[in-house]
Amino acid sequence: MCVAKRRMAGIAIVLLLLSFSACQRSTEKGLEEEKAKQAAEASKVAPTDVAPAQVDEPPAEPTMPEVKLTEALEATCLVKVGDTMPEGTLADRDGRLVESGSMLDSKLTVVFFWNAEGVSSLQGLDELQKYVAGPYAEKGVRVFGINHKDSPQLAVEKLQLTGAAFPVYLDPDGAYFAKFATEGLPRTYLLDANGKILWFDTEYSQSTKRDLLGAIEFVLRQ
């Protein structure tokens, strides 16, 4: 009787161990299946988290800036884009007469009309030296200033307040400027080697500088 009980107890223990082992294997299998399922879902989502490769675009080519004027400003302009620079006689700081055509000895010429009254005139003289006359001299670009109606003494005095080292001529009675416009200073003109007006502005500002440099770059790349 005792032997039978011991056998029954042994069988029960064996069955219990087998049941525990099977349960453990089932649990491990379930964990493996769950991990595989999560990995599959991650592989589907991952590509959307990756930013598309950036394609470097070539820098934009420079374009000729458009001259945009109000009707009031346009009415003051006697010459416009496409016209030829008027001929006239100017004077240098020593009083010697100079023909306007003598300025056209380069691929590009910048003509800057200014007077002693405006701060923007002095700013233009300074920045045209810094950003145009200096950097572009070896590329065939020259700058000329034309003072409007100031005395030679005052023109020189104001000029010395700037860094301008390019030639400055005098238009003592305003006769030469009167061929370009009825009023409004300063004014900036970009001319080709034949005196054709390629671009101009009726002021001097940071947008003037930006557009002038853009126009110069555009022409030089042609």
Query: Which residue ranges make up each domain of the chain?
Result: 1-39, 71-220
Alpha-carbon gap, residue 200 to 20, rounded angstroms: 94
**23-37, 70-84, 175-189, range with the lowest pLDDT:** 23-37
Alpha-carbon gap, residue 133 to 142, rounded angstroms: 6
User: Are 65 and 219 contacting, i.e. CB atoms less than 8 angstroms apart?
Assistant: no
Q: What is the pLDDT of residues 97-143, one digit of tens each?
A: 999 999 999 999 999 999 999 899 999 999 999 999 999 999 999 99
Q: What per-residue confidence (pLDDT) applies to 109?
A: 99
> The domain 71-220 is classified under which CATH number: 3.40.30.10, 3.40.50.2300, 3.20.20.70, 3.30.2130.10?
3.40.30.10
Predicted confidence band of residue 60 (pLDDT cuts 50, 70, 90): confident
For residue 37, pLDDT over 60 is answered with yes
pTM: 0.74
Alpha-carbon gap, residue 12 to 186, rounded angstroms: 110
Q: What per-residue confidence (pLDDT) applies to 40?
A: 57
The more confidently predicted of residues 45 and 95 is: 95
